[in-house]
Every structure is written in C-alpha cells, then in structure tokens.
Structure 1
Amino acid sequence: MDSHEELMHLADRYWDTRLEMSPTAATMLGERRFDDRIEDLSEAAESRYLTAYRELLDRVVALDPAGLDQQDRTTRSLLHTELAGAVDRLSWRSLEMASDQMAGVHAELLTIAPQITAPDPAAAAALVQRHRQVGTMLDQAVERFRAGLAAGRAPARLTLERSLNQLDGYLDSDLTGDAFVTLEGPADWAGEEAWRAELSQVAAEVIRPAFRRYRAALADELLPAARPDDKAGLCWLGDDGADIYRRLLHEHTTLPDLTAEQIHRTGLAELESLRAQYQEIGARQFGTADIATIFTRLREDPELRYRDGDEIMTDARAALSVATAEMKNWFGRLPRAGCDIVPVPEFLEADSATAYYFPPPADNSRPGSYFVNRHQPTEQLRYETASVAFHEAIPGHHLQLAIANELDHLPRFQRQSFANTAFVEGWALYAERLADEMGLYADDLGRLGMLGGDSWRSCRLVVDTGIHAMGWSRQQAVDFMIANAPVGENHIRVEVDRYVAMPGQAVAYKVGQLEIGSRRAEIEQRLGNAFDIKAFHDVVLGSGSVSLPVLRELVATL
C-alpha cells in the first residue's frame, strides 16, 4: 500500500485499539461494537495495550512524510502525538492514582451513566452484560490503587473526601432513579418492562454492592495513608511526583519544553494585565475603578446571586439562544447537531464543576449536551452564567466538537478524540472573549463575568504549578484565588480541589487561549483588511482536535 493508505490503516488500527480499551467511551461516541464490555483495568490488560501502542508508534515514525499531502502530514503528526501520549500515560501507570472526584474510575462511571442510551434491543441486551461487569472493573481499580500505595503514591486526602461524598450520594439515592436503571431505551419496545426489571436487579445485586466495596477501600485503606491538605501536590511524592507532573504538563499543553516555572510567571503576568480591564468596565458598572471594591461587589451583592436553580437554567438557555442566532456571521462551517441544556444529576452536584459538555456521538443518536450545575443556587453568581454558556456550548465546545465529529473526510481519531486539552479547552476560553466581539454579552455585568472567567483561568497557571511544583498548601491556593479572581469562596474551594485531582489539566485552558489569540493576531497583522474571521475559524476548527504545534502549521497557510 502507498503512504496514504498505510497512514489511514494505522489511524484506524489506533482508534480501534483505543475504543477496545475504553468501551464505555466508545458507546458515548456512538460506536456500539463494545456495548457488552467494560474497561479492563488489570495490569495485564494495560501491558497488552502498551505493547500495541508502541508497535503502532514505531510504524508511524517509520512512515515517510515526503509521500503525503498536507492533510495527511497533519494526520501523521497528530497520530504520532496521540500514540506517544498513550504510551507515556500507560508507562507511568496513571490508573494507580485514579481515585479522585474528577477523573477517578467511579467519577467517570457515575458521570457517563446518565448519557448512555440503548437505541435498539440488541444494544439494550448488551448494556445489561456491561452492567454485570461493573463489579469486576471497580475491584480491579481497587487493586491498582493498592499497587499505587505500595509504590509510595498516596492520594491527596481532599480528593478522597470528595470521592467519598460522591459515592455516598449515589449509594443513598433511590434505586428507582438510579442512572444505571433509567437509561433511555428503544422507542416503542415491547420488551422494555422486563429489561428495566433486569437493570434494576443488576443495579441492586451487582453495581451497588461493588460501589460499596470500592467505597470501603477508599475509606479504610487509602484515606489513612492520604497526603494532608498542606501537602496536596505531586511534588510531595518526591522525584516520582515531579516526574509525573512534568509528563502531565506536556500531555495537557502539547508543548514539551514548557516548564512549570514559565507557566507560573505567565499566570502572574496575565493577572496583572487584567487589572486595567476591570477598572474600565467596573467604572461604568459600579462607578469605581478600585479593584478590591469591584471584587467585593461582585462577590457579595445579593442582587447578583440567584434565587433558585430554575433561574440558572433560564439564563443559560437565553445565552445559548442568542449565540445560536449569531454564530453564522462568524463561522463558515456550522454544526448540524443541536445542543441540549441539561441539569447536572443531583447526586453529583456538590462535587462537580459549574458546567460541562458532552458532544454528540458519531451516530447522532443524541444532540450535544451542556450540563448546568444548580447546586446551592443562592451561592451562584448571575454574571457568570453567560460566559460559562459561551464556553461550554456556542461558540465554545459544542461548536468545536460537533463540527469535529462531522468532518467525515478525516480519520475517526481526529473527529472524536479529546486528547489535545490545550486546543479543546483553549478554544472554549477563546470563545468567551470571542463572544464579546460577537455582541453576545447583554451588558457590562456579563463582561465582568467574562473577565472573572479569565482571571480564574489565569489563576490556574499560578495555583496548579504552585500546588504541584512549588509545594503550596490547599489554603495557600484558595487565598491566592480569592485575592485575584472575583469568584465565590465555595466555588474556589471546589476548583482548587479539582486542580489537586487533575494536575496540569487546568493550565491548558489559558495556554491554549493565548496560543490561538497569538496566532490570530499575527495573521491579522500580516493580512490587514484581507483578514477573514470566518476563514480563520474554519481553519482552526477544520482538522478536529489538534496539538498546538500542528495548529501553528495550519494557520500559517492563511
């Protein structure tokens, strides 16, 4: 076969291996071949997949790019990045530390469960078989956590406390509303009643007992050995922790030479640059340019807080509506899939982010889903809702990921992968600022929400590196964010705990936003009046999820 055919073959091999390794994610993507399976978290399985990824990586490296066109060279570069990342993550045994409240084994199961659907009777039967294997999966996870403890990889106490809260919320919930029982089934199906009864039986006899065993292991084995709040960062694990953090920064930013110290300094500089913007908009909105007064007003004015969860949902829907109407003026390529707004399941609210998004699957069996957290509505701030909606939905993640899913001429991994965090999250943060250019913010209060979001992401550069590279305590991180972002303290505490749980992930937002903004500024300066914002956006979003080095190559063609 020629170079193009070989590349497409390797891309398919990689993605099939990835889906086989992550059957739950495959179902979410609309790939139903693995519905009767669940993730195998054993060391033996990990070793098999590591071998498979290394063999594929060697073949991609050996593939001569001279025989490829520009699109194929982009694919080859991205495939190399993803395979190298997969090899790296498996090599340092990340599963040994996957007990946290964000990306932990239990957290992903509970978060994804409400999104799973069974479009036909065959899928419904297959998913019952998957549910019967939940116990094996959770037991394997516990064995991996024990191996991590034996290797000196004690988790942070605060992440375990939040995980236990999640698990208690699930185990205390009524079985009739269990997400493993209430998943959407085939339409007008005569077998639904018997199927629901079987799902309920499996949840009661297999799934919930497995979650109880898992909870007991976290509480009785991991919690006593956990790192205290003043030693929450990876650096407190010594050389192993420092090495893991370097790997994670590379994984999430896709920039191998970017150091924790550079990221920390960039965050401090970004926070300083935001001060003038607060002063300008704050003077118009509140009649003062004093930063401390502006922050206090944003945090403490009772008129800026919600009364109930319904108000949050109403404002989120309004923001999505205005963005949907305007997007055609800024993008040449538009997604075919719609975007639904859905409340975060109640049992996950207390320990989940303000919002999150799931893209539509490849089979378009459901639209994209923008999840809104209604937890403690009187603690949530009205002025933040619009910028969050623009980040998660349009022109942010929904526009980006739904378009990627519809790029039928590209290999599946380019359309469906989320491996390049800095691009995926950088785009969404860029979208918050773009929304102001698009005229989507209704007033200066919404713009202050946009600035608050930017401050929050700039703080992440400082706090994430502070915790994991410089030994900051949990409280030191909280205090820094209170001083530098007009975000409520409760929200800040949840966020800081997220950074502890997912080292390096949070810095990717600002790193990616700065990269996209920098590339756009360069092209605008070069092209002058010939610059076309639709063409720029279509190039940025036209190759799926890309690494930042590949993004530079793509936009250089404009």
Structure 2
Amino acid sequence: MRRALYERNLPLMSTPQSTAAEVVVSTMADELWQHHLSMDPYLQMRSGVATERLPLRTIDEAERDTALGRNLLARCKAVEAVPINDSARVTLALIRDHAERLERSAELWHARFPVTPYQLFDLNIALTQVLPTVSPTKEAGRLLALAEDLAVAVETMDGKLVRMQQQGWVLPAPAFAGSIATLQGLKALAEQALTRTDAGARVSRVRDELVLTAFDRLLARLDSAEYRASAPSTVGLSQFPGGAEAYGELARQSVTYAIDPEQVHRHGVEQLSSYDEQKAELRASLGFPDEADFLRYLRATGRLHCPTAQDVEDLYLKHISRMEPLVPQLFSATPKAPYGVARLDPAFEAGMSYGYYEPPTDAVPVGNYRYNGSGLEDRAQLNAATLIFHELIPGHHFHIARESEDPSLPKFRSQIPIYGAYNEGWAEYAASLAVELGLLDDPYDRYGHLVHQSFVCSRLVADTGLNALGMSLDEAAGWIRRNSFESEQQIASETLRYSTDWPGQALGYRLGYEQFWAARREAESELETAFDVRAFHEIVLGSGGRPLPMVRDDVRQWVGSITSKP
C-alpha cells in the first residue's frame, strides 16, 4: 500500500478558546486539505510542494475516497448538534458537502472515461510541469518514482477501459480520434521528459519497458477491432447501464443542487428565443435585419477577428482599462495580487479550445488570463469585453485570487476549486455587470455580449440533450452553431466535451449566473433603497466558493439582518 505523502500534523485553525467541537471541525478541514493535496499535482504545484508521487486513479483510490467520505460524514453528524461559532458552522457544512462527494467516488468511478482530454488533465500537468522540473542528478530517486507511477497510471487507464467495457460502458466512436490524438501527444511528452543524458539507466529502462509500452498497449486497445466493434456510434451517458443516474449525480455535483434535465433543457430553449429577439432588435438598429449579412459585414470590416496575437492582447487590455476605474463602485475589497494578460505557450495552443485563468502562485504572483493566440482567422473576438471581464476582473481574479489570499479560510476552502457552478456562475454574473456600468455602449460589444449569453444558454440545451434526452451530436452542434460564433472544429470539441468527457460541467455557467442574479434581485426587492451592491458582493464573495443554495441562504440572512433592525 502506498505510503501517505503528507503525514505531518499541521497547526489547527483553532484558538485556546475554541470548543472541542470547533477543534474537531478544524481537524477535519485539515484532513480534507491534506487528502486533496496528496492526490493532486496541480494543487501541489500551486502550493509550492514537490510532487513525490502521481495519482493513479485506480478503483482502490476511489474506494479509499469513499471510505474517507463516510468517515467524515459520521464525524460531521456527531458535531452538527453541538453549538459552534458561525465560521466553524460554514466550514462544517462545506466539509459535509465534500464528504458526500467523496462518498460517491467508487460508485461514479466507472462513469468517467479515463482517456478523454479533460480527464487527462492530471497527466498533462505531470508531463508538462512536474517531470521536466525534476533534476535527474539531484533527485534521481524522485524521478524514478514518478516514472514508475506514470507507467502504472497509464496501465490503470487500460484496465479501467476493460472493466468499463465489462459493465457495458465503451467509449463512443466519435470520441476516438480526439482521445487517440491526446494520448499520442502525451506519449511524446513522456518520452521527452524521461529522455535526458543524465537520467541514468534505470529511468531509461522504466521509460522504454514500462511507460512507452503502457502507452502503446492503451493506444492499441483503442485501435483494436474488438474494442471498436463494441463502441456505440451515439454519445451521452443515458445510453449506458445506470448512465442516466450517473449523469444526474454528476450534474448535481457540478451545479450544487439537483436538476431536472428536461426542465433545464426547456429553460435553455426559452432563453435562446429571448436572446434571438434581442440580437435581431440590435442588428436592425444597425441596419442589418439579416444575420448572414451582418456576419459578412463584420468579417469585411475586421470587427469579427484580430489579425495578430498582440492585437488580441491589446483588445483585452483596452476593455480592462475601462473597467478598472469603476471597480470601487461595486467592490469594497479586492485581491492584493495584480493581474494581467499573457499568451499561452504556442506549443500547447492546438490542444486547448480557449484560454484560462491562471491564479497567482508564490512563483508567479500575478493572476493571468492565458489567452489562445492561435487560429485567429476562426477565433471571433466580438465578445472580447465579456470574455475578459469573465476571466479576469471582476470575474475569476476577484474570486479566486481573493479567496486564496484569505488566511481566515481553511486551505480546503481557499485552495481547492471544487465548486464549478459558483466559480463560473460568479464569472458570468461579474461579466454582466458591464451592462449596468455602461461599458457595452458600443453596439458591437453589446452584440458580442448577447452572442456570448446565447452560447452559454446553448450549453444547457446541448448538455442535457446529449446526456439525458437522446440528442445526437449533429443536433447539439446545430444548437451551438446557430447561437455562437464558434468554428466547426470548436463546435465538435464542445459537443464531445459535454457528452463523453465532462458531462454536466457546462451547466454551471448559466445556472450559476442565474442564481447570483436571483439572489441579487431578491435582495434589491426586499431592501429597496437600503440595498448596497458593494455589501451584496461582499456577502457572496467573502466566504469563498460554496454550493449555490448556501449563497442564496447567506444573502437572505444578510437581508434579514437589515430588515429586522428597528
């Protein structure tokens, strides 16, 4: 059995005046943090901790997660009836939520295909940011251990495909090309990372006899006639045994509350109809009742695309410069860390649809939006204002950087990005603040904002349609094509992301956005002239990421504290 990576006892977040129950809560919080840190190279990298071993994602690991979840739930139950302070009470609620997710780990292990691009994120981190930094001469033992783990991790993927196939789960045929291309790229990275003049004979032997051989076996399975013959031509989880239930749980974990897929699907269609009307009205005001004519005009005038990566960066910075002086109107507290815009390493751009927000670390103490500067002829920039407000300020940076800087939060709350619907929902809400601030006064920026909202709503339709309602890839692609400026390559990537790679995740963008706005509208209605948007933002951001129902409860409690005053 593998030894624990982080066995040391860290100081508890308690004081001499803490009750015994609060110390228990603090202990559980630390255990959760240590557990996640020990299994996640990305968290280790962010925390400045050397990665000694790699996660294998075996069923045994999933079962240990389940056992930990059950243990924590039992301990939560013992504490929940005991009086504790408000901060500990919030932490306890979040521990329970984390524990409930862990408890389902073994049950959901078979519901994630291990060879799809997003599921290979850990391996990508290991090969691009962990192994290349290990010194073969000074850290020979560590390099060898990581190489051996890499081989086992790839073997585990192969074994998992076999086990899933026995349970009636086979990777859908449309996902083969992307999975194989991603694995071939990772194999090349592995060979490069383990081929060094001073690596030593043992590392070279592990590379040749274990790592590369494991990749070859896995790729051979995906290319075998036997496996391909059993692969369904259709996508979506509901076609597999227990798939509908698995999708319901994955969607619940992503959104942080239970959803009805059919209801969400209908809601998405209704929202798209509303945005169609708004776009048509705006186009007509610009003299383009026909959308095709409008797109031709945008392309001809250079409004749709940027010719160079520097032009993309300059456009983002222009929008940020307009937002910056208005921030004090909306926020009473902001992160200490600076922020900026930086291009992705061009070597990795082909495998990434968009860019991403990169939180500050000790090594790079700046929150950066790492944008994709490739394929600009097909990468529409009309929504650049909405995108950069989502990714940087007042979106991801104001949430993630501030959260990670808060010493009052236990590390499992400040460092683990588990609540996708809060994360993406906040960023969507924050980007929409540009409307009330008047930053979308240019009608083309405003149209780009409407297109962005349409795209996010089309995800509601496609994700639920593909996984719960029997929608085909072509049908889902049609919804995205009609409601976005995405290229055909991007549309193909997106539909596979929803249906075979990360089902349920894309729902959090729009549903999270709606929850934040619903909380605000409710507070505005109750408080009327006493409503303070800066105070509202402090309530929703101050405790960091959490399930959306907790955000609504926090806002209602805040409103009640104001309305109850004489």
Range into which the TM-score falls when normalised by the shorter chain: 0.7 to 0.9
Whether the 8 Å contact between 2:66 and 2:105 is mirrored in structure 1 is no
Whether the 8 Å contact between 1:350 and 1:375 is mirrored in structure 2 is yes
Which residue in the other structure is 1:277 paired with? Answer: 278
Residue 435 of structure 1, CA deviation: 2.7
Q: Kindly tell me: are residues 437 and 344 of structure 1, through their superposed partners in 2, closer, same or farther at Cα, counting changes over 3 Å? A: same
Residue 381 of structure 1, CA deviation: 1.1
Aligned mate of 1:254, from 249, 253, 256: 256
Whether the 8 Å contact between 1:337 and 1:367 is mirrored in structure 2 is yes
Q: Kindly tell me: are residues 89 and 449 of structure 1, through their superposed partners in 2, closer, same or farther at Cα, counting changes over 3 Å? A: farther
Whether the 8 Å contact between 1:387 and 1:450 is mirrored in structure 2 is yes
Deviates more, 1:401-410 or 1:204-213: 204-213
Would you say 1:330 and 2:333 are equivalent positions? Answer: no
Aligned mate of 2:247, from 245, 248, 255: 245
Tell me the amino acid that sits aligned with residue 7 of structure 1. Answer: V
Which residue in the other structure is 2:237 paired with? Answer: 234
Would you say 1:15 and 2:33 are equivalent positions? Answer: yes
Q: Kindly tell me: are residues 118 and 237 of structure 1, through their superposed partners in 2, closer, same or farther at Cα, counting changes over 3 Å? A: closer
The within-5 A match list for 1:196-215 is 205=208, 210-215=214-219
Residue 327 of structure 1, CA deviation: 3.0
**Helix, strand or coil for the counterpart of 1:383?**
coil
Which residue in the other structure is 2:555 paired with? Answer: 555
Percent of residue pairs bearing the same amino acid type: 26
Tell me the amino acid that sits aligned with residue 219 of structure 2. Answer: R
Which residue in the other structure is 2:385 paired with? Answer: 386
Q: Kindly tell me: are residues 201 and 152 of structure 1, through their superposed partners in 2, closer, same or farther at Cα, counting changes over 3 Å? A: same
Deviates more, 1:217-226 or 1:138-147: 217-226
Partners in 1 of 2:323 and 2:207 — Cα distance?
A: 43
Which residue in the other structure is 1:189 paired with? Answer: none
Partners in 1 of 2:68 and 2:478 — Cα distance?
A: 46
Residue 466 of structure 1, CA deviation: 0.7
Which residue in the other structure is 1:478 paired with? Answer: 477
Which residue in the other structure is 2:3 paired with? Answer: none
CA deviations over 1:392-440 (Å, ceiling 9, x no partner): 2221112211111112111111111222221111111112211333444
**Helix, strand or coil for the counterpart of 2:542?**
coil
Unaligned runs of 5+ in 2: 1-18, 560-566
The within-5 A match list for 1:164-203 is 164-171=180-187, 180=193
Partners in 2 of 1:352 and 1:84 — Cα distance?
A: 32
Partners in 2 of 1:306 and 1:252 — Cα distance?
A: 34
The within-5 A match list for 1:102-181 is 102=118, 104-105=119-120, 107-110=121-124, 113-114=127-128, 125=139, 128-129=143-144, 131-132=146-147, 133-171=149-187, 180=193
Alignment RMSD (CA, Å): 3.3
Deviates more, 1:47-56 or 1:128-137: 128-137
Tell me the amino acid that sits aligned with residue 272 of structure 1. Answer: S
Partners in 2 of 1:202 and 1:548 — Cα distance?
A: 50
Partners in 2 of 1:412 and 1:89 — Cα distance?
A: 22
Deviates more, 1:536-545 or 1:488-497: 488-497
The within-5 A match list for 1:427-442 is 427-441=426-440
The within-5 A match list for 1:313-324 is 313-324=313-324
Residue 147 of structure 1, CA deviation: 1.0
Residue 236 of structure 1, CA deviation: 1.5
Deviates more, 1:73-82 or 1:303-312: 303-312
Partners in 1 of 2:206 and 2:354 — Cα distance?
A: 28
Q: Kindly tell me: are residues 43 and 163 of structure 1, through their superposed partners in 2, closer, same or farther at Cα, counting changes over 3 Å? A: same
Tell me the amino acid that sits aligned with residue 374 of structure 1. Answer: G
**Helix, strand or coil for the counterpart of 1:334?**
coil
Which residue in the other structure is 1:528 paired with? Answer: 528
Whether the 8 Å contact between 2:341 and 2:371 is mirrored in structure 1 is yes
Tell me the amino acid that sits aligned with residue 77 of structure 2. Answer: V
Would you say 1:5 and 2:23 are equivalent positions? Answer: yes
Partners in 2 of 1:218 and 1:15 — Cα distance?
A: 36
CA deviations over 1:232-290 (Å, ceiling 9, x no partner): 1111114x11111111111111112x210111111012112223431343234x32345
Which residue in the other structure is 1:76 paired with? Answer: 92
Which residue in the other structure is 1:360 paired with? Answer: 360
Would you say 1:29 and 2:46 are equivalent positions? Answer: yes
**Normalised by the size of structure 1, how large is the TM-score?**
0.86
Would you say 1:217 and 2:218 are equivalent positions? Answer: no
**Helix, strand or coil for the counterpart of 2:369?**
strand
Residue 445 of structure 1, CA deviation: 1.6
Deviates more, 1:404-413 or 1:443-452: 443-452
**Helix, strand or coil for the counterpart of 1:341?**
strand
Residue 117 of structure 1, CA deviation: 9.8
Partners in 2 of 1:449 and 1:548 — Cα distance?
A: 27
Whether the 8 Å contact between 1:131 and 1:207 is mirrored in structure 2 is no
**Normalised by the size of structure 2, how large is the TM-score?**
0.85
Whether the 8 Å contact between 1:173 and 1:347 is mirrored in structure 2 is no
CA deviations over 1:463-489 (Å, ceiling 9, x no partner): 111111111111111112222334443
**Helix, strand or coil for the counterpart of 1:357?**
strand
Tell me the amino acid that sits aligned with residue 128 of structure 1. Answer: L
Whether the 8 Å contact between 2:65 and 2:102 is mirrored in structure 1 is no
**Helix, strand or coil for the counterpart of 1:419?**
coil
Whether the 8 Å contact between 1:328 and 1:334 is mirrored in structure 2 is no
Partners in 2 of 1:195 and 1:365 — Cα distance?
A: 29
Partners in 2 of 1:49 and 1:173 — Cα distance?
A: 30
Which residue in the other structure is 1:425 paired with? Answer: 424
Deviates more, 1:482-491 or 1:530-539: 482-491
Partners in 2 of 1:172 and 1:140 — Cα distance?
A: 19
Q: Kindly tell me: are residues 339 and 115 of structure 1, through their superposed partners in 2, closer, same or farther at Cα, counting changes over 3 Å? A: farther
Tell me the amino acid that sits aligned with residue 215 of structure 1. Answer: L
**Helix, strand or coil for the counterpart of 2:341?**
strand
Residue 202 of structure 1, CA deviation: 9.3
Would you say 1:51 and 2:70 are equivalent positions? Answer: no
Partners in 2 of 1:349 and 1:112 — Cα distance?
A: 18
Deviates more, 1:113-122 or 1:378-387: 113-122
Deviates more, 1:324-333 or 1:492-501: 324-333
Residue 376 of structure 1, CA deviation: 1.5
Partners in 1 of 2:72 and 2:137 — Cα distance?
A: 31
